Amino acid sequence: MLQPGPTSDPDPTLTRALARDLNAADYRTERLRERWGTAVDAVLGRGHALPARRALAGDESALAVVARLFGLGEGVTEAEASLVFASVGAPGLAALGLVEVDAGEVRPRALIRPQTYVDEDGADEWLVVSDLDEAAWGGPLPEGHVLGVGRASLTLAGLQLSGAVDRALDVGTGCGIQALRAWRAAASVVATDVSERALRITRLNAQLNGVDGIQTRRGDLFEPVTGETFDRIVSNPPFVITPRVAGVPAYEYRDGGRVGDGLVTEFIAGVGRHLTPGGTAQLLANWETRHGVPGLDRVRAWVEDSDIPLEAWVIERELLDPVAYAQLWIRDGGTVPGTAAYDELLGAWLDDFDTRRVTAIGFGYVLLRRPARGRPTLARYERAPQALPEGGLGAHLGRALTAHDRLSALDEAGLAASTLVVAPDVTEARHHLPGAEDPSVIELHQGGGLARVLAVDPALAALVGACDGDLAVGPLIDAIAELLEVDAARLRADLLPRVRELVFCGFLSFV
């Protein structure tokens, strides 16, 4: 069986040569989609490589050779590799730990896949090295597997706040995708991991993409940065809840070695002392509902127990029962349902959950901020299971934080004196019973952001519709009160708190 990929530090000269060869082959996401079609591309993203293999059959172009070798994890002939990788050569690929060369065949020891990203500076692409995936490996993954760019990685990369900062930290960097994303806005980045192989792959990916300014350090959680502070911390930590019993694989990329959701508890407890005033931390996490206490309430308690006061915005995206959660992660490791090994692992997971009386496991996004001054003013814990629009949420989260800060400085009179405008992605839907003149339901729909749908009454709908940047909120409410023949003071008291919510959520914005 093939050994895992890079196990030594990359040679910069060879890495630069490899980058030239990949660029010469035009090894890019768009070109691959053109070659095998969007439908094949979609199923490949879900781990099904056969349609892509069939699409490349008989194609001897440079793009096809690179795609077979490093995109699909298939062997190619040494002659093909020598022709396509003219700069680095097959021996150079082997020296980088990316292939094995034997009897005229070049077999991959790692994958290299192009990954498109979009942020406020525009769209671009990275080339990302990772270990062979399950399809290329041909069985359950090794425990030291270094994961490539998956759905969770893309989610967190899209969640990252924009805006230039001095220092950023990526905790549990894996292949380095979050560090690369953080580098786009940070003067310097520190990337940590418990796996030395992961750090080597991170360094290789930085070199491959011409990125300077990412420093790697080995260690658990915040141990490698003791006494240091950062303006921005990001982490896709190994948060997967795993039984601490013999026979259950402890995959480094997903298992932090703690009981239950203890890793996330520790992260939240320790992150505050590593944030500069005004600094933010963002992570993906799981949390358990235990003894009838909802997971979101437990996360709130962790934040409130922090010795450094923190603001929090926590969004629960999914909620799974213990059986579904266990099945998800057993299959993720490559163990096939219906086998004795699968049933044994499922039993271990369910026994583990039973010991803590776990009835559900939540997954979501955590955004924490150390107040620049004073006490925390943001403590928001919500569920958002709805489908989200394509593209990252980072810009939306940043605008919401800015809106929160401005709203916090305004009393009711100040808000009433403010002029607002409806966001361009907001639409209104009215639902009527057959034959009814007045709507029974009025909804505001958000096309971007968290794609919220809010039910509103006629007074709030009228106010939102009138927010065109001309008149302030207070006079608008007074006019609506006169139209509806209700008390203006009472209507203000009713609408202004809801206006605050609409501004934070992005339905309305300050002029």
DSSP labels for 88-123? THHHHHHHTTSEEEETTEEEESEEEEEEEEEETTEE
Q: What letter would DSSP give residue 141? A: P
- Asked whether the beta carbons of 308 and 374 are under 8 A apart, the reply is no
Torsion from C-alpha of 63, 65, 66, 71, nearest 10 degrees = 110
Residue type, 328: L
Residue type, 279: G
Q: What is d(CA 26, CA 19) in angstroms, rounded to the nearest whole number?
A: 11
Helix (H) and strand (E) counts in the chain: 20, 19
CATH 3.40.50.150 domain locations along the chain: 156-406
- Asked whether the beta carbons of 225 and 146 are under 8 A apart, the reply is no
Residue type, 400: A
Domain at 156-406, CATH from 1.10.10.10, 3.40.50.150, 3.30.43.10, 1.10.150.20: 3.40.50.150
Q: What is d(CA 444, CA 138) in angstroms, rounded to the nearest whole number?
A: 49
Q: What is d(CA 29, CA 41) in angstroms, rounded to the nearest whole number?
A: 9
Q: Which residues of 10-48 are buried (b: 16+ CB within 10 A; e: fewer)?
A: bbeebbebbbebbeebebbeeebbebbeeebbeebeeee
Pairing of strands 214-218, 186-193: parallel
Q: What's the CATH fold of domain 409-510? A: Outer Surface Protein A; domain 3 (3.90.930)
CATH 3.90.930 domain locations along the chain: 409-510
Give the distance from CA 429 to its chain's centroid. 31
- Asked whether the beta carbons of 98 and 112 are under 8 A apart, the reply is yes
How high is the pLDDT of residue 1? Answer: 41
Q: What is d(CA 117, CA 139) in angstroms, rounded to the nearest whole number?
A: 30
Nearest alpha-carbon partner for 209 in 177, 231, 239: 177
How high is the pLDDT of residue 3? Answer: 54
Cα-Cα end-to-end distance for the chain: 63
Q: What angle do CA 497, 389, 429 make, to 5 degrees?
A: 55
How high is the pLDDT of residue 490? Answer: 97
Q: How many CB atoms lie within 10 A of CB 117?
A: 18
Q: pLDDT tens track of the chain, all 511 residues?
A: 445 667 678 899 999 999 999 999 999 999 999 998 888 888 887 778 889 889 888 889 999 999 999 999 999 999 999 999 999 999 999 999 999 999 999 999 999 999 988 777 777 899 999 998 877 776 677 888 898 888 888 899 999 998 999 999 999 999 999 999 999 999 999 999 999 999 999 999 999 999 998 999 999 999 999 999 999 999 999 999 999 999 998 888 888 999 999 999 999 999 999 999 999 999 999 999 999 999 999 999 999 999 999 999 999 999 999 999 999 999 888 888 999 999 999 999 999 999 999 999 999 999 999 999 999 999 999 999 999 987 789 999 999 999 999 999 999 999 999 999 999 999 999 999 998 888 999 999 999 999 999 999 999 999 999 999 999 999 999 999 999 999 999 999 999 999 999 999 999 999 9
Q: What is d(CA 422, CA 442) in angstroms, rounded to the nearest whole number?
A: 16
